[in-house]
Amino acid sequence: MAKHLSVDRRFDAYQDFVLACKLTWTRELYPALHARYDDELASRRAAGEPLPNSVAAVEELLADDPLAQYFGWFERHLQRMKYSGRHGLVPHFAAHRDELAGELQAGADSGLVELDPGFVQPDYYVAVDIHQHPGGVWSDEVAGYVYERGARTTTPLLDRDADLHHRFTREVLARAPSPRRLVDLGCGFGKSTRPFYTGLRQTEVTGIELSAPCLKLAARTAAEDQARNVRFRQADAAATGLPAGTFDVVTSTMLLHEMPPGHIERTLQESFRLLAPGGISIHLDFLTDDDPFRRYIHYGHSRRNNEPFMPPLNEMDLAGAHRRAGFTALEVLPFEEMPGTLAPGFAAWRFPWAMIIARKPA
């Protein structure tokens, strides 16, 4: 992260305000909308009317409800404010471009990252401004900083987003205690890679990512950590160029929902190719259950946040995709991103976190 930026109190205050609004949306608006929906269900049941059994049916039920409209509008526009408002992330980091150039160069020169100047991004990746981030996380030199700062408030209930990544790291290591080599696909600016390379000094860790600006920031942070056991590489997760059969763990965090299903299939095939016999593939992502209201919320989030591949991931045949890649058994487990979020009474909005786990036969 950018440690040497001059302080801008207006920017900090503006971003704190957006975060406070997002917390209200998470803790108050979401439970209120859920209660409204439950009331509707109760009156339908009492009247002997059919209950909604699909996202479209929930949409129809809530279409004219002011709270549902406010909920959706607030989510979309808070995200827009966060990135593009007067003190949004994009104008803020653009204004500090010169200050950041040296840090980025230090990342590029660290010897920890292999960049490909002629790299051609996949079409699906450049077609959308993901997260409502103008230009996406790849097209501007300072995009990695924008993403790093933005990611701190993506899951607003968590005190420090890093905790989520540490909790996931522990889940991975519970299944593969001391891997010799581990690859983190779609590593972004290195947040998901860092707990592995700092916690496992004997493990050779590789981070794969499309975005050069994110990779430079990841390398810069690793250099500051004085890490010797990590390398970052600009490549597609579906075609990493890494040697076959050499990794004990292939992992990703929040990668699969950013890809169309065909690309997920190819990434699973690549994961299988990279793994040594007996190695484990474990992806952390978002999968809802069949509850129509939870799906309606998740699919709405996908639209409002410019993340079009969340519904296709949710609906694709993941077991079949793993089988076709060569994996024999697939396990999908809920992931508790902070204590208590899987408890039945947990009422606030959260992502439907899930771990997607498979092994290459020994």
C-alpha distances in Å from residue 242, one per residue of 133, 181, 275: 30, 12, 11
Of 6-14, 73-81, 209-217, 298-306, the segment contacting ligand SAM by CB under 6 A is 209-217
- Which of the residues 97 through 136 are near ligand SAM (CB under 6 A)? 122, 125
Binding track, positions 163-192, relative to ligand SAM; x by CB under 6 A: ----------------------xxxx--xx
Residues 45-64, interacting with ligand SAM (CB under 6 A) = none
| Choice between 61 and 208, CB closer to ligand SAM | 208
**Minimum distance between the CB of residue 37 and ligand SAM, rounded to whole angstroms?**
28
Q: Verify binding: residue 337, ligand SAM, rule CB under 6 A.
A: no
Asked if residues 127 and 144 have their Cβ atoms less than 8 Å apart, the reply is no
As measured in angstroms, the least distance from the Cβ of 188 to ligand SAM is 3
**Residue position matching structure tokens 């302080």:** 7
Among 173, 210, 218, 227, binds ligand SAM (CB under 6 A): 210
Give the binding-site size for ligand SAM (rule: CB under 6 A).
Answer: 24
Among 81, 112, 173, 259, binds ligand SAM (CB under 6 A): 259
- Using DSSP bridges, classify how beta strands 275-286 and 247-253 pair: parallel, antiparallel or unpaired: parallel
How many angstroms separate the CA atoms of 359 and 275, rounded? 9
Q: Which two tokens stand for residue 205?
A: 């860790």
Minimum Å distance from CB 255 to ligand SAM?
5
CB closer to ligand SAM, 186 vs 279: 186
Q: Which of 217, 81, 221, 101 is nearest to 153 (CA)?
A: 81
Question: Do the bridges between strand 204-209 and strand 247-253 make them parallel or antiparallel, or are there none, so unpaired?
Answer: unpaired
In the bound state with ligand SAM, the residue whose beta carbon lies nearer, of 173 and 208, is 208
Among 209, 248, 265, 285, binds ligand SAM (CB under 6 A): 209
Instruction: List, in sequence order, every residue forming a beta bridge with 191; answer none if it has no partner.
Output: none
Chosen residue from 15, 79, 110, 211 binding ligand SAM by CB under 6 A: 211
Alpha carbon distance 94, 90 (integer Å)? 6
For residues 249 and 197, give the distance between their C-alpha atoms in angstroms, rounded to a whole number. 13
| Residue choice 62, 68, 100, 137 for contact with ligand SAM (CB under 6 A) | 137
Stretch that binds ligand SAM, among 56-64, 196-204, 210-218, 332-340 (CB under 6 A): 210-218
The H-assigned helical ranges of the chain are 9-24, 30-47, 55-62, 66-84, 89-95, 97-108, 123-126, 143-151, 162-175, 194-199, 212-224, 261-274, 292-304, 310-315, 318-325
Site string for ligand SAM, 226-245 (x = CB under 6 A): ----------xxx-------
* Nearest residue to the partner ligand SAM, using Cβ: 188
For the chain, counts of helices (H) and of strands (E)? 15, 8
Please choose, out of 80-88, 205-213, 323-331, 337-345, the segment that lies near ligand SAM by the rule CB under 6 A: 205-213
Nearest approach, Cβ of residue 253 and ligand SAM (Å): 4
Using CA atoms, how far apart are residues 296 and 53, in angstroms rounded to an integer?
A: 11
Among 255, 318, 321, 357, binds ligand SAM (CB under 6 A): 255
User: Residues 6 or more apart from 221 whose CB is under 8 A from it?
Assistant: 1, 107, 189, 190, 194
Smallest gap from Cβ 321 to ligand SAM, in A, equals: 15
> Are 278 and 359 spatial neighbours (Cβ–Cβ below 8 Å)?
yes
| Residues at the interface with ligand SAM (CB under 6 A) | 122, 125, 137, 151, 185-188, 191-192, 208-211, 214, 236-238, 253-255, 258-259, 263
